[in-house]
Amino acid sequence: MVTVMKIPAISLAFAVALLAGAPSIAQDTKVWRHGVIELKSDAGIFLMVANGFAEKQGIKLEIFPFKSDQIGLRAMIAGEIDSYEGGLTGTVVAASKGVDVKLLGCHWQGLPHGIFVRDNIKSPQDLRGKTFAISTPFSHPDYLARALLAKNNIPVSEVKLANMGGDTDRFKALIAGVVDATVVSSEYVPIAAKNSVHLMISARDVLPEYIRLCIFSTDRSLAKRDTAINFLAAEMKALRFALSHRDEAMALTRKITSAKPDDPRPEYIYDDAVKTSAVDPNIGIPMDKIKWMQERLVQDGQLSASFDINKMIEPSIRAKALELAGSGH
């Protein structure tokens, strides 16, 4: 059974203040609290772990959805959750400042997002003077929007960037004409045309080395070592099952999101993930892409200088989890 929880938004300042001497997250060491991005049409892949796989590994798993991965990062730093899945941008910057952030592995290494625009926009140059919906700083939409503008020599000052929350919020704003462009999951491709919008460019064509999601934790939570290992092993087994059982994954997605039977998005994003091998069920640690991300952050001025990125990576949890889950797909 999928257990979806809610926690209040947490400010970064408050989260950092809690770093020293924070209490244990849960008295029961078998409890593992995990944060995920807003539940969308790929929920059947993401949350398969909570569909019996965690229980089989002896884990009491609680799932916490967030509008953006940056909110998940703050919640993890504050000790409200044990782990979360998010991008490398904010976590690398946080780790460079000595914040307790540990990368366990990256499961969704491809990038399924796209830059969607109103039909009157034909090319990136048409974005000048337009409103571009993004999300919180360091989030995928924020970083990808800025990367697209830079790649096309468009100063950020010539575009109005507007923070509009999660994918659903931003897509609604786009089709309503409130904004002219946004970055959202490519799951919206099959319903874009009837809403007078279209996919202008795939995000993976803008930043092919960009990793969508990794799983992060903290030294504080990893003190529950056996639970952390079993959680990651459960994730591996669940991802393998989801990628090889399309019908079951689709059924879970529709149950979680209450998608209508004629909604084409679950099948679209699932088939895209399988076709492009975007998901790594063994939750690997692609050091070349991780180092590339750090170099990009330095280049963009979001990171003052490179640091020993190995300090934010905890490979032993994954190694033990692989022993439990087996190395096959």
User: Any residues with CB less than 8 A from the CB of 46 and at least 6 apart, and which?
Assistant: 36, 37, 39, 85
Residue given tokens 């571009």 in the structure block? 132
Cα–Cα distances (Å) from 204 to 62, 111, 119, 190, 311, in that order, read 31, 6, 21, 18, 28
pLDDT digits (tens), the chain, 329 positions: 445 444 333 333 323 332 333 333 445 669 999 999 888 899 999 999 999 999 999 999 999 998 888 899 999 999 999 999 999 989 999 999 999 999 999 999 988 899 999 999 999 999 999 999 998 887 889 989 999 999 999 999 999 999 998 888 999 999 999 999 999 999 999 999 999 999 999 999 999 999 999 999 999 999 999 999 999 999 999 999 999 999 999 999 999 999 999 999 999 999 999 999 999 999 999 999 999 999 999 988 888 899 999 999 999 999 999 999 986 54
Length of the chain as a residue count: 329
Look up the CATH architecture of domain 12-110+211-325: 3-Layer(aba) Sandwich (3.40)
All CATH 3.40.190.10 domain ranges of the chain, comma separated, are 12-110+211-325, 113-206
Q: For the residues of 278-315, what is the DSSP string, one character each?
A: -EEEEEE--HHHHHHHHHHHHHTTSSSS---GGGGB-H
β-strand pairing of 83-86 with 31-37: parallel
Q: How far apart are CA 28 and CA 224, in angstroms?
A: 10
Topology of the domain covering 113-206: D-Maltodextrin-Binding Protein; domain 2 (3.40.190)
Tell me the backbone φ, ψ of residue 196, rounded to 5 degrees: 60, 35
Q: What is the pLDDT of residue 6?
A: 43
Q: How far apart are CA 170 and CA 300, in angstroms?
A: 25
Q: What is the pLDDT of residue 172?
A: 96
DSSP 8-state secondary structure symbol assigned to residue 79: T
The arrangement of strands across the sheet holding 197-202 comes to 160-163, 131-134, 181-185, 113-118, 197-202
Q: Residue 95: helix, strand or coil by DSSP?
A: helix
Give the CA count within 13 Å in the CB-facing half-sphere of 208: 2
Q: How far apart are CA 227 and CA 222, in angstroms?
A: 8
Contact 185, 113 (CB under 8 A): yes
Residue given tokens 């070349």 in the structure block? 288
Among residues 88, 70, 89, 87, which one has the least CA distance to residue 78?
70
Give the CA count within 13 Å in the CB-facing half-sphere of 223: 12
Q: Residue 76: helix, strand or coil by DSSP?
A: helix
Q: What is the pLDDT of residue 16?
A: 30
- What are the beta bridge partners of residue 56? none
Kindly report the pTM of this predicted structure. Answer: 0.84
In the chain, DSSP finds a helix count (H) and a strand count (E) of 14, 11
Q: What is the pLDDT of residue 226?
A: 97
